[in-house]
Structures are given as structure tokens and as C-alpha cells.
Structure 1
Amino acid sequence: MPSPDVPTPRWCVLGTIPGGRVSLVWLSLDGAELGRDDVERAQLPELVTRLEAETAGLRWVFSDAPHWYPRLVAAGITLSRCHDLRLCHAVLRDAASVTERAELAADTRWDAGPSDIAGPELVTALFDYDAGPSAHTVPHDLDSALDEFRRQRAAVASSSRPGALHLLLAAESAGALAAVEMSAAGTPWDVVEHQRILTEALGPRPAAGHKPAKMLELAEQVRAALNAPQLSIDSPTQLLRALHRAGLSVDSTSKWELEEQEHPVIEPLLEYKKLARLLSANGWAWLDEWVREGRYHPVYVPGGVVTGRWAAAGGGALQLPRLLRPALRSDPGWVLVSADVAQLEPRVLAAMAGDRAMAQAGWRRDLYAGIVEQNIVATRQEAKIGMLGALYGGTTGVSGTVVPQLRKVFPAAMRVVDEAARTGENGGIVSTWWGRSSPAPSPGWRRLHDRASDIEASPSDERAARNAARTQGRFTRNFVVQGTAAEWALSWIADLRLRLARLDPVTDGPRATASGLAFQNRPHLVFFLHDEVIVHTPEALAEEAAEAVRDAAVAAGRLLFGGAPVDFPLDVQIAERAVKE
């Protein structure tokens, strides 16, 4: 460990060294090396525990958190802060505000995407330092980690917005810690209730390779309505032909197109598709694979979407249907604190734009109801559709009618998304509040744009280029808002996990029955979904945990937007099951 006579270390870089050992290098705030310690792998948890307790503000530098952190969590250790080199590399490599990006881009070993990090077949590998190259492509050796860390610090220093980028990298890295912790702790899951829901919806569990009874009944109704006794409903091509023969003018078998049709086949077909989705995504096979010892263990992938939203490499955590919410059940003596923020993206847009009128419409109330009260539209549904149209570029139907009205009433907010759309249409790059930048248009997009600009371009080339430009514009329009909302959500969970860690653990009550050592007697995050969190907490600490959730949301808004007159109201519930009333 560093001598007491040297400056307090700010960073601790971990990396493997020859001989199967792990090396820890301490760096000062300005990046100067202060000391080094080489240990056997088995000694690492003990050393990390001591350093975390003795060194305030220490940030651990990981090649990527899923490689290092699970073993520490399994030993009962949770860290306050880290810097995840893989995640931060992806942000800095593409950040438009950074001028020193060439060296970052040159080392492509750090470009591992979420598919390289984890998948359903690689869940166990996450808990093994020795996972082979199929599990990771980023390097874990000390020299590579030190080199990359110094490149990243230089990149931040070269940015026109270093403060904002620093906050983004800190939030992204905190998300990496939270993702590992939630996967390790698991979401409390009532297997019996899940099976009851499946049986009620689908019928008894069928033999392998067979469909449940209710799906078979619906399939026969669909075939009868289409007069197609041999129809394979699961074949989109066959189904589309059968729908056309029945006189239905549809271009696909999507739910959205089918809902606009009137025909006896529509109701049973939509119900069949819903049950098929339930069976494939969260049926009995899902239970067998993803739930063990009363815990659902998803694999979250922070930064898995280009906007910074999370993805899931396994278990479908970000797509759990509401039908299954009753299966999220706390342990005896514990409860779930569930919280979600209302209309996150529109509120973020109001804060980004400094649009006081839009902020006032949602101040301490439902934003869409506030829009109705201002006589902008007649119904809450119109307000919702119109706002979504503003965020996603809707130009037809209700959106086409409402969006022009929103431009008049909320000019500052609409200017932000309209300008982002124009930038995208022209092939430009946009950035979020803290500096995550959108990917550049593809080479194919560029070729199409250049070909349409030629004086001899055909009308079809021009139409294709216009359509491609509009598509890119819709993407950049939403990117700035969705990406900034992801930054707010990351700040929320980053602050929340620290607040929960400061609560005194319960020593005389029931322990969590299946959580890891680090979570058996204190509140902890168990679920995250873009704008929603669920905390599993001893009942005695439920109110304190709920207050932590609320305070963290306020802190997130203040961290991003300072004193902007925008609030982020939460719907917070404390119950044994995560079911919204």
C-alpha cells in the first residue's frame, strides 16, 4: 500500500500480471503513480475490503466490471465507485467534444460490445476471472489497463466539456457496479405464482415440443375464420397470404396493423400472438433457465443501446410483461419499494430547453393532464400521443395534428428536438446533455446522399435519399432526449445505491433468503427498467429506503439541470409484491 507520506490515492488500477497474480497500482488525482501491490487472486477480496474502508473517495479502475466485480460481490464486498474502461472507452471514442480520440480509436481491443461480454450461455463465465476469449475481448492485463486509462484521461482533458464528460463516465461506471450487484442479488421471484399465471393464461404445461391447450384452441379459431385448415400460424409468410385471401389489406402481421382491421380473425389472432410471446419469452422454459432458489438473475448490459439505455444479454429484464409483475415477491419480513418517474423524457426535454411553460405544465402533476388543462388538446391521450410524436418524429394522425400546436405553446422545447432532427437529416452528429454523441450515418447513407446530390440523379435516388434523411432525423431527434433521460436514470441509481449502502443493516430481523452475502441484511437494488427501480428491503427499513429513492431522484435532477424549474415526481409503493395499484 502507498506510504502515509505520499498523497492520498484517487484511483486504483487492477490488472493481471504473469504468474496468475493480480496487480493493484495506486494513482494520484493527477495520474502520478503512488505505489503498487501484487497479490494472489485469493487475497484480492481482503485487500480490496481494507482499501475501500481506509481510502475515502477511491475509484477502482476495471477493464470491465463484469470481469472483476462479481467475485468481490460474492465475497460480501460492494464498492462505492469505479471507472469501467470498456464502457468509458465507448463513450469517449465517439464523443464529439473530444479532440484527442485517435489513440483511443486505434486500440480496437477495447471496442468489445455487449454481445462479447455476456449472453445466456456465458452467465457463469461472468463469475470467473479466467473466462476465456469467448467471454471477453477487452484485455485484462495491467499494462493494457494503465495505457487505456491514461488515454482516457487525456481524452477527457481535451474535451470542450470535460466536467460534463466526467459526470457521464462516473454515472456510466456506477451503472456497471449496480448491474453486477442486481444480477448477483437477483430479483425475488415467486415461482408458484409465475406457474399459476402461466397455467391461467395458457393452460397446463404441455409436453416438450407441444403447444399449450389455449394456444391450440385459438389456432383452430384462426384457421376457421380464415378458412385455412392447414395454416401454420407461426409462419408469417403463410399467415400473411391467408389474411390477403380473406380480404385483409395488410403489409405485415404486426399487432399494430392487425388492430386497425375489422374481421372475425383479428381477436383470436391477436390473443394467439400475445400468448405465443408469453410462452417463448417468459414461459416454463424461461423459469427453468433463469430462476433459481427463488431469485431471477438477469444479465444487464449498461450502455447496451447507443443512447446509453441499458440492454439485457439474457433473461429479458427490460421486457418483463406486466402480467408477470405479481411474481415479483419479497422475502418474509422484507418488502419491495417500487418507484417509477412519470413522463421522464418530456420532463428531461423541458429541462434541457429551459422551457418554463412546459415545465409548469408538469409541475407536481401529470404532465399530460397539465397540457389538457392549458387547453392545448382535449384529452390526456391526445397529449400523450402528440408528445411522443414530438419526441419520435410522428407526422400523421393525432401526432400530425397536435405537434404543430405544441410548437406554438412550447417553442423552446420543440426547438431542441427540431434542431436535432435537422442536424441528423444533414448527416450531422448530436450529443446528449453530458456529451454522449450519436453514431455517424453509415457509409451507405453517405453514398445515397452523395448520389442524390448529383446533377444527373434519378427521381428514385432523390426519394430514397429524402427518406433516409428523414429516418436519420427521427433518430437524432429522439437521441438527444432519450440519451439525456438515460443520464438522469443512471444518476438516480448511482446516487440511490450509495444512499442504501449508508443505511444501517438490520441485525436482529430475517435475512434475505437467497441474496448474496452483501445483501442479506440491508436494502439493495434488485430491478431497473429505464425509468423504474425496485429495492428489496427489510420491512423495518422500508420507509427509509423509500425516502432514499425519492431523495436520489431529486439529487439526479439537480445534478443534471441545477435549479431548472422541472421536477421528476415518483410513484412510490411499498408492498410484498411489485404490482401497481
Structure 2
Amino acid sequence: MEVLLAADLGGTRLTVVPDGHGPVPVGGPAVLDAEGLPAAVRALERERPRWVWADTAATYPALLRAGVRVERCHDLRLCHAILRGAGALPSQESPWDGVAATGPDPDAATLFDDAAAAVGVEEVLAEHRRQQVALAGTDGCLRLLLAAESAGALVAAEMTHDGLPFDPARHDEMLTAVLGPRPGPGARPANLEALAGQVRELLGAPTLNPDSPTDLRHALRGAGLEVRTTRKHELAALDHPAVAPLLEYKRLARLLAANGWTWMEAWVAPPDAPGRRARFRPAYVPGGVVTGRWAARGGGALQLPHQVRGSVVADPGWRLVVADAAQLEPRVLAAMSRDEAMARASRAGDLYQALVDEGVAETRAGAKVAMLGALYGATTGEAGLLMPRLQRTYPRATRVVEEAARSGERGDVVRTWLGRTSPAPPPQWHRVQRRASEGDADDADRRRAGAVARDWGRFTRNFVVQGTAAEWALAWLAELRLRLRRIDGGAPHLVFFLHDEVVVHSPEAAADEVAAAVRAAATAAGRLLFGDFPVDFALDVTVVGSYDEAV
């Protein structure tokens, strides 16, 4: 059974779609207000429907605040993007391309706060019909992708609502130890100011503002140091006494800007009950990257440095179960290519060491370089030298990425295992290729066209693997979420996700059971996507009190 939830001018309407038949209104009031909707959703959830709505990020937070959670949904916005990319929906612009997630902003309009601004009933019904017709002509893989993407949207909303347990006092201690005491408005912390002073003195630039790239380039050139940018890798190549304090200044300035006191005040909410810690509530964006990986709209959830992780601390009586999928992309490549030799390497535990044992490389570090070269298209240096060995040892796996690269170089699109489609090359790409094919094109035009084509080929090469890894991770999340609901009354809950890593906040007594569920969910995700092909998706799972303790 499916239940459509959409806004009317007077409130919110629920429409049941039983067993593929036409929609019928839910019994009871035709239109529900903000007070009546949660009870209606809670009652219907006992039937285990699939909720169909315009946008999980706009709809679900209000239900969560009312204490209502749903098991399944179909997010029309996210699914529209996938179906349009796959060619199952018309490619012309659609109003659904502009239906944007509102995220966790408490002031943003939702179906409960401003129904007139939300997507209406007729639009939701029409888009749902369009997607069902589009799906009728596709295989089951695309249906699985839409279900996984929608499940990911539920996880994202729940993680923002529940928050990552956080200790502001510990964070303040860390910032003070590294940066110095918190300064007044407009001033730098003492340690940053001291480093800035060293840089000014060593460069002979007493008025230098090291936060200004323009000022910094001018000061470096004044000291005889020619630079194009002030990025870390370019500065590190310079031979000058100012380089070390400058790099340290930039490192600390980044910490202050990304995770300093102002960040903490903006993104860490105080405890909402006795015995609970504060909560870090970032804004996740499922499918925010073209490969299907998540992004973050605010809070920097996908860039938590190790220093900050020490501030993520479980509530008293609770633990953090941290799981990291080891060497995920190579394992995914083995599964999607059906490369049995590479699958055997995955079952050895450390896949990179298995490459050493197979004679691909002499050291584990070299094996990692070879594999990353295959995934990202490195053709020079050590990766280029090792690539022929990798091709001989794992021919099916390397053929998958090589064919994806050649497709990209031709300007073709490629697809992940479940059917997410890569974007077409941009107009500039086509202009460069057309120019190279014209009669008056010169060698420079042709070289540029070749370089542009190879660059796009490197993108499509990695797209098929990174996108399929994102699909495996979504399946892992969705399966784990359902398993956690059956443990200790549903108390354990997901609180963090980063590409191939999850963190579950669990009562201490249930932590071992949660760790087992994490592993079982990974196995189930592999089986769901790849059937019985024998690839081992190895996990590093630890139960800790604070996030930085996880290895």
C-alpha cells in the first residue's frame, strides 16, 4: 500500500493507493491540520505503507518533531532526478527540478507551516503517476536505486533530528589548547596571532594579512617567491623559513573557521533532557553529488577532522558503535566486474596486501597506488608503471574502468550498477572537440581536445565505481536502520554517515548486538546488489566512548 501526502491550501491531505489501483482518500477528515496529521500518519504506519511525498527533507522533520517515524517512503524529488538522468523521464526542464529540500532549518516552510508554499496534491499525484509509468519500462535495478535513495533521505532527516552527541566543554578545551583562549570579536586567537607575526617578520611584510590570498601572494613575491596560488601543496614546495609557520597558520585558521567557537554556537544545540549531551545537527544532502554521494548544506558534517571527533562523546550509559567499510571501492569494482581473482583478494582481508601477494606490487603502499591509479586514471609515475601488472592479474576489473574511461572520452554517459547516469559533458567540452575537428584546426587545438577528452574519461572511469559504492552504502544504511529498530525497543540509532563509515549511538547494554547488526547489514547490502558473487565487504567495527577512540 502507498499513501500520498501532500499539501492543500487548508492543510495536508492523505491519499491511499492500494495495490496499484487508483487513489482513494483516506477515511476521516479530507484535510488534516498540523495537530491531526501526526496521529493519522502514526495510525496508517501500522499497515507498513510506502509514503509518497514531494520531498523528505521538507516533510519528515515535522513528523519527527511530533514523535512519528515511518519505515519507508518514495521521495519524488530525489527519484525524479534519477529517472530524468536515466532517460526514463523527458529531458526538458520540469518544475520538479526546482523542488528544493528545505533541510533542518526550523524557520523554513514545511507542509505544516505554510501549506500554500508547498507542493500541492494534484502536482504530487501527477508526478507520482509519471514516475510509475517511467518505471514500467525499466528493470528492477532502477527500482532498487529509487528505494535506496529514498531510504537514505529518511536516514538523513533522522540523523539531523537525533543529532550527534557532542561535548562543548571538551571542544572548548581542545580549541583553547590549540588556538589559545577565545578572543574578542574581530581578533585572532593568541596562537594564530603569534604565527601571523612570525610570517610577517620572515617575509618582511609588517602589514600582511595572511588570511588574504592577494596580500599573501604579494608578500611572497616581495620575498622572491613566485607562486600562482596560496594553496597548501604549492606553498609546501617553497624553500623559505616562512613556509613552516605559514602552513601551520593556515591549518589552525582552517580549524577556527570550520569548527571553532562560532561554528559550535551555530550548529551544536544544548541538551534537551537531563542526562543527555548537547547535539551537533548538520544539514545532510542525500544525492548531493552526481555520483550519488551525500553532501552537506551546512555544519561541515562531511569534514570532521580528528581533533573535532574527540568532542563527539556518547551520552552517559551509552556507547558509539563506529564502523568503517575497508577499501570499499576496490571491493565494489571486484563485485560489479565479476572478477573472481579480485574477489579472492577481497576475501584475504587486506586487499592491498593481497595485491602484493599476487605480485602486482612489491609493497602495500605500491599496491594502493596501483589500485587508486586504476580507479582515478593515473597514467604516470608509479601508478602508470604498475597498471600493466594490474591488468594482467585482474583483467575483468580493469576492463570495466577502462571501458568507462573510453566512453567518457567519446562524450558518452556511463551508468552505475543500479543505473544512476553520469552527466553529459558540458557545452565547453563539445566546443573544444568541434574546434579540433574543423579543417583549420592546428596541433594545439587537437592536443587541447585530447586533454579535455581524457579528463572527462577520468571522471567517468571513477563515476561507475564511486557511484556503485554509494549505492552499496545506501543499501547498508537502509538495512541497518531497519535492524536497529528491532534492538532494545529501537533505542540504538544512526547518528553519523560519511561515504563508507557509520556511527550508531547505542545503549551500552545493546552495543555488541548493534555491532553484529552493522556487520550483518553490510553482508545483506552486498547480497542485495551483487547476489551470491563472493566479495567480502570487510568492516572495521569498534565500540567506543568518544569518536576519536575508533581506529
- TM-score clears 0.5: yes
Rounded to whole Å, the distance in 1 between the matches of 2:475 and 2:17 is 25
Alignment-derived partner of residue 328 in structure 2: 344
Query: Of 151, 157, 175, which residue of structure 1 is paired with 2:152?
Result: 175
Rounded to whole Å, the distance in 2 between the matches of 1:152 and 1:466 is 39
Q: Kindly provide the amino acid, as one letter, of the partner of residue 243 in structure 1.
A: L
Query: How far does the alpha carbon of each residue in 1:92-115 deviate from its partner, in whole angstroms, 9 at most, with x for none?
Result: 01114x3xx22xx456211137xx
For the Cα contact (< 8 Å) 2:7–2:115, is it kept in 1? Answer: no
Alignment-derived partner of residue 536 in structure 1: 505
Rounded to whole Å, the distance in 2 between the matches of 1:330 and 1:383 is 37
Q: Kindly provide the amino acid, as one letter, of the partner of residue 110 in structure 1.
A: W
Alignment-derived partner of residue 204 in structure 1: 181
Q: Kindly provide the amino acid, as one letter, of the partner of residue 122 in structure 2.
A: D
Alignment-derived partner of residue 346 in structure 2: 362
Q: Kindly provide the amino acid, as one letter, of the partner of residue 541 in structure 2.
A: V
Rounded to whole Å, the distance in 1 between the matches of 2:70 and 2:14 is 15
SS in 2 for 1:15: strand
TM superposition shift of 1:366: 1.6
Query: How far does the alpha carbon of each residue in 1:353-372 deviate from its partner, in whole angstroms, 9 at most, with x for none?
Result: 11122222231412112222
Query: How far does the alpha carbon of each residue in 1:202-227 deviate from its partner, in whole angstroms, 9 at most, with x for none?
Result: 11111111111111111222223333
For the Cα contact (< 8 Å) 1:26–1:35, is it kept in 2? Answer: yes
Q: Kindly provide the amino acid, as one letter, of the partner of residue 109 in structure 1.
A: P
Alignment-derived partner of residue 36 in structure 1: 26
TM superposition shift of 1:35: 4.0
Runs of 5+ in structure 2 lacking a partner? 271-277
TM-score for both structures, normalised by structure 2? 0.94
1:7-406 mapped onto 2 (5 Å cutoff): 10-18=1-9, 20-37=10-27, 38-41=30-33, 42-53=35-46, 55-56=47-48, 58-96=49-87, 98=88, 101-102=89-90, 105-106=91-92, 108-112=94-98, 116-118=100-102, 122-125=105-108, 129-130=112-113, 140-159=119-138, 162-248=139-225, 250-293=227-270, 294-406=278-390
TM superposition shift of 1:265: 2.4
SS in 2 for 1:395: coil
SS in 2 for 1:45: helix
Runs of 5+ in structure 1 lacking a partner? 1-9, 506-520
TM superposition shift of 1:441: 1.0
Rounded to whole Å, the distance in 1 between the matches of 2:57 and 2:204 is 53
Rounded to whole Å, the distance in 2 between the matches of 1:388 and 1:246 is 38
Alignment-derived partner of residue 402 in structure 2: 418
TM superposition shift of 1:437: 0.1
Rounded to whole Å, the distance in 1 between the matches of 2:313 and 2:322 is 11
Identity %: 53
SS in 2 for 1:313: strand
After superposition, the Cα gap between the structure-2 partners of 1:368 and 1:565, relative to the gap in structure 1 and judged at 3 Å, is same
SS in 1 for 2:320: strand
TM superposition shift of 1:478: 0.8
Query: How far does the alpha carbon of each residue in 1:353-409 deviate from its partner, in whole angstroms, 9 at most, with x for none?
Result: 111222222314121122222232222222222222211122233322233332222
Alignment-derived partner of residue 7 in structure 1: none
TM superposition shift of 1:201: 1.1
Query: Of 490, 495, 505, which residue of structure 1 is paired with 2:474?
Result: 490
Rounded to whole Å, the distance in 2 between the matches of 1:406 and 1:249 is 40
After superposition, the Cα gap between the structure-2 partners of 1:575 and 1:412, relative to the gap in structure 1 and judged at 3 Å, is same
For the Cα contact (< 8 Å) 1:118–1:313, is it kept in 2? Answer: no
After superposition, the Cα gap between the structure-2 partners of 1:578 and 1:131, relative to the gap in structure 1 and judged at 3 Å, is farther
Q: Kindly provide the amino acid, as one letter, of the partner of residue 212 in structure 1.
A: P
Query: How far does the alpha carbon of each residue in 1:526-569 deviate from its partner, in whole angstroms, 9 at most, with x for none?
Result: 10101011011111111111111111111011111111121111
SS in 1 for 2:541: strand
Q: Kindly provide the amino acid, as one letter, of the partner of residue 394 in structure 2.
A: F
Rounded to whole Å, the distance in 1 between the matches of 2:395 and 2:208 is 53
TM-score for both structures, normalised by structure 1? 0.89
CA RMSD of aligned residues (A): 1.9
TM superposition shift of 1:31: 4.4
